[in-house]
Amino acid sequence: MFEWIKRQLDKLGSPTLDWVQVEVTTDCNASCIYCPHTLLQNQWKNRHMSIDLFHRLIPFLSYTDLVYLQGWGEPLLNKHIFEMVRFCKERGKRVGFTTNGMLLTEDRIRMLVDLELDILGVSLAGTTAGTHNRIRKGTDYDKLVFNLDLLSKIKAERKVKAPEVHLAYLMLRSNFHELKEILPLAIRVGAKEIVAGNLTLIVDPKLSAQAIFNYSGSIEPQKRANKSKNGKLPYGRRSPTACPPGRRALWAGGCGELQYYRSRLEEIRKRACRENIIFDYHGPGIDDASLYCRENVRRACVINVNGEVVPCVFTNPVLCENRGLGNGRSSCYMFKGQFFPLTGISFGNIQNETLTRIWNKKEYAGFRDLFDPETATRPEQILSEMPKCCVKCYKRLGV
Ligand code: SF4
Ligand code: SF4
């Protein structure tokens, strides 16, 4: 009786979330050159969420319509992944995850179709085998496209639309010129959505210049952008005078290069729109005045492989636990040319407390308030209250 009353009280205070993201594994079969899983591999602990811990999510599934089974790692490596999908589907949830595509087989694709998985995200870093395979090491572009073709064929055979394919393209300087080919690929494999994202967690300083919003000082974007006929990245020297005066929100690369990226991205968006495909791209330029975080922290949360409730994958404690660079320093990431330690934030663990209780904690509510658009009218105060990892986070700066 007492337990029943507790559960009812818990339901009363439960939030309505756009989605709950669940990290089902931290293990991966690939070695993408930019990923913390690769770059911090000496200290990385590969773990799978146990099915028992996953079952503890039951009471929290009513908070949301969408469960996304994703964190740092390849979801298909968790041997319970199909059971997890089934478990959520039986409770009427929409379910998705993003994969590198290498563990898809015909049997597995058929199982996912049978389970009526709603979203299958697929990660790309190029639209040719040469580029994609160089960046997403351990994956194979041709195999990925083969698997997506197979999925289209199986869906057509069964006359079903699910799972919807979403293509997640990581934009880098070295692969941006191939992004325009994403649309023919999306049409071919029947993708409904394309998301072009940025490299926002830079663990290796050598990759800093690869982020399209980071300007190395050696390129003159406007000149080459004007001259560029083949869609390749414009090179030259920066032209600061091209920027409109008085703007606080400047992109370090200069407005010429920013304009280049924006116009290319807009062209793709318009063409995608004509094909009825959503093309969502993350900003190619930093906005220093922004207090907006892309990760929807006010209406979504991440439950990590250990059950910790965290606002986003960047604050996931698995990124920083037990990690050192061999010299006593903690692992770091790079933000605007400086190193900062990776720090985790956890507001509680579902093994010990309900998600309602964790969500309603004063410190978690206070954290979410920092990202309330209404509070953006007092930016200095907000920034002084924000955790350092958010202040020094590209996700907060519109990229
Ligand atoms: S597939 Fe994903 S988790 Fe694995 S190394 Fe690449 S980016 Fe990291
Ligand atoms: S600002 Fe960055 S670290 Fe903070 S919640 Fe958003 S994504 Fe996470």
Closest CA to ligand 2's atom 4: 390
pLDDT in tens, 129-180: 999 999 999 999 999 999 999 999 999 999 999 999 999 999 999 999 999 9
pLDDT of 244 reads 38
For residue 82, which of 56, 60, 105 has the smallest C-alpha distance? 105
pLDDT of 330 reads 62
pLDDT at 240 over 90: no
pLDDT at 280 over 60: yes
For residue 281, which of 186, 381, 173, 168 has the smallest C-alpha distance? 168
Query: How large a percentage of the chain has pLDDT more than 90?
Result: 71
Residue 34, phi then psi, degrees to nearest 5: -105, -5
pLDDT of 291 reads 85
Asked if residue 73 has its Cβ within 6 Å of ligand 1, the reply is: yes
Amino acid letter, 362 = K
Residue with tokens 């949830």, as numbered in its chain: 93
Closest ligand 1 atom to Cα of 139: 1
pLDDT of 320 reads 80
pTM of the predicted structure, to 2 decimals: 0.88
Highest-pLDDT range among 187-196, 231-240, 250-259: 187-196
What is the Cα–Cα distance from 228 to 281, expressed in whole angstroms? 22
Q: Report how far apart, in Å, the C-alpha atoms of 231 and of each of 178, 224, 272, 359 are.
A: 8, 10, 17, 46
Q: How confident is the model at residue 375 (pLDDT cuts 50, 70, 90)?
A: confident
Say if residues 63 and 15 touch (Cβ distance below 8 Å). Answer: yes
Average pLDDT, the chain: 87
Cα–Cα–Cα angle for 266, 166, 71, rounded to 5 degrees: 110
How far does residue 71's CA lie from ligand 1's centre (Å)?
10
Q: Which of 5-19, 216-230, 237-251 has the lowest mean pLDDT?
A: 237-251
Q: Which of 74, 78, 122, 305 to mutate to test the pocket of ligand 1 (most atoms within 8 A of CB)?
A: 74
How far does residue 101's CA lie from ligand 1's centre (Å)?
11
Q: Average pLDDT of 204-226? A: 66
How far does residue 27's CA lie from ligand 1's centre (Å)?
9
pLDDT of 224 reads 40
Which ligand is closest to the CA of 98, given by its number? 1
Give the CA dihedral 309, 313, 92, 97, nearest 10 degrees. -150
pLDDT of 373 reads 84
